[in-house]
Amino acid sequence: MKSRAPLLALTLFVRDLDRSAAFFAALGFHCEPCPEDRDRAVEVVVGNIHAPLLQLFTANDTCPPTRCQLVFQVPDVVPVARALDAHRFDWDCRRSNSLVTRDPDGNTVFLHELDASRFP
């Protein structure tokens, strides 16, 4: 039996919390204020999973903006591209089933379409 992955969440320190939350919402994630720190943190949640995938915190002198690369699997890249356009986020098509973009802090974000044929 497989066990649960040990990573509970990834924390990103961001310059503009509202803009970063809008970016991840455009990718199809649900964003909500962090219960412990509603003014300075947002939890990025996938579906009905009861744990955040990402935590976004406002960067400061002690914790500068995070630099990383993120890769996500999405059901369909077309609605994601439309949502990115609606929020004026740039993106580039890599193949017909994937795209690459950057979050407001310049982190590279790859989005790959889920291959539904692999699952019964």
Question: What does the DSSP assignment read for the chain?
Answer: -PPPPS---EEEEES-HHHHHHHHHHTT-EEEE-TT-TTTEEEEE-TT-SS-SEEEEE--SSSPPP--EEEEEES-HHHHHHHHHHTT--EEEEETTEEEEE-TT--EEEEEE--GGG--
Give the CA distances from residue 81 to residues 20, 71, 84, in Å, rounded to whole numbers and listed in that order.
16, 15, 5
Positive or negative CA dihedral for 41, 101, 88, 81? Answer: negative
**pLDDT at site 119:** 45
In a domain, 111, yes or no: yes
| Length, in residues, of the chain | 120
Digit-by-digit pLDDT tens for the chain (120 residues) are 565 566 777 899 999 999 999 999 999 898 988 877 767 899 998 876 667 789 999 999 999 999 999 999 888 899 999 999 999 999 998 778 899 999 999 999 999 997 755 544
Q: What domain range is 17 assigned to?
A: 10-118
Answer yes or no: are the C-beta atoms of 82 and 40 closer than 8 Å: no
- pTM, entire model: 0.83
**pLDDT at site 46:** 81
Report the number of distinct structural domains present in the chain: 1
In a domain, 3, yes or no: no
**pLDDT at site 12:** 95
In a domain, 61, yes or no: yes
**pLDDT at site 16:** 95
Instruction: Give me the CATH number covering residue 114.
Output: 3.10.180.10
